[in-house]
Amino acid sequence: MKIAQIKLKVISMPLKSPFHTHLGTVSEREGIIVEVIDSDGISGYGEGVAFSTPWYTEETVSTSLHIMSDVLIPLLKKRPIKHPKDAAILFQSVRRNHMAKAGLEMAIWDLYAKRNSLSLSRAIGGTRREIASGVVVAADSLTNSLKQIEKYLGEGYQRFKIKINPSQDYSVLEAIRRYYPELLLMADANSAYTLNDIDKLRALDDFNLLMIEQPLASDDIIEHSLLQKEINTPICLDESIVSFDDAKNAVELGSCKIINIKAGRVGGLYEAKRIHDYCLEKEIEVWCGGMIEFGISRAHNIALASLPGFTIPGDISASNRFWEEDIIMPEVCVRNGYVCVPDTSGIGFGINKKRLKETTQIEKVFNF
As annotated, the active-site residues are: 163, 262
Cα distance between residue 45 and residue 300, in whole Å: 9
From the list 1-9, 64-72, 284-292, 323-331, the region that binds ligand OSB by CB under 6 A is: 284-292
* Distance of closest approach, residue 287 Cβ to Mg ion, in angstroms: 11
Residue nearer to ligand OSB on the CB measure, 84 or 215: 215
Is residue 48 involved in binding ligand OSB (CB under 6 A)?
no
State the Cα angle at 189 between 184 and 194, rounded to 5°.
Answer: 135
Stretch 218-257: interaction string toward Mg ion, x if CB under 5 A: --------------------x-------------------
Strand partners, 288: 261
Is residue 315 involved in binding Mg ion (CB under 5 A)?
no
Is residue 56 involved in binding ligand OSB (CB under 6 A)?
yes
Q: Footprint of ligand OSB on residues 217-246 (CB under 6 A)?
A: 238
Residue nearer to Mg ion on the CB measure, 67 or 259: 259
Residue 238, annotated as binding a ligand: yes
From the list 142-150, 192-200, 287-295, 344-352, the region that binds ligand OSB by CB under 6 A is: 287-295
Is residue 157 involved in binding ligand OSB (CB under 6 A)?
no
Is residue 136 involved in binding ligand OSB (CB under 6 A)?
yes
Q: How many residues bind ligand OSB (CB under 6 A)?
A: 11
- 315 makes contact, choosing from ligand OSB, Mg ion, none, with CB < 5 to 8 Å by partner type, with ligand OSB
Residue nearer to Mg ion on the CB measure, 47 or 213: 213
Q: Footprint of Mg ion on residues 262-281 (CB under 5 A)?
A: none
Residue nearer to ligand OSB on the CB measure, 20 or 273: 20
Cα distance between residue 347 and residue 300, in whole Å: 6
Is residue 188 involved in binding Mg ion (CB under 5 A)?
yes
Q: Which residue is nearest to Mg ion (CB)?
A: 238
Q: Tell me the residue type at 234.
A: P
Is residue 291 involved in binding ligand OSB (CB under 6 A)?
yes
Cα distance between residue 6 and residue 181, in whole Å: 50
Is residue 44 involved in binding ligand OSB (CB under 6 A)?
no
Residue nearer to Mg ion on the CB measure, 104 or 192: 192
- C-alpha 347 chain-centroid distance: 15
* Distance of closest approach, residue 57 Cβ to ligand OSB, in angstroms: 9
Residue 140, annotated as binding a ligand: no
Residue 246, annotated as binding a ligand: no
**What separation in angstroms does the CA of 114 have from each of 7, 14, 81, 91, 129?**
18, 31, 15, 22, 19
Binding site as annotated, residues for Mg(2+) = 188, 213, 238
Site residues (vs ligand OSB, CB under 6 A): 56, 136, 188, 190, 238, 289-292, 315, 317
Site residues (vs Mg ion, CB under 5 A): 188, 213, 238
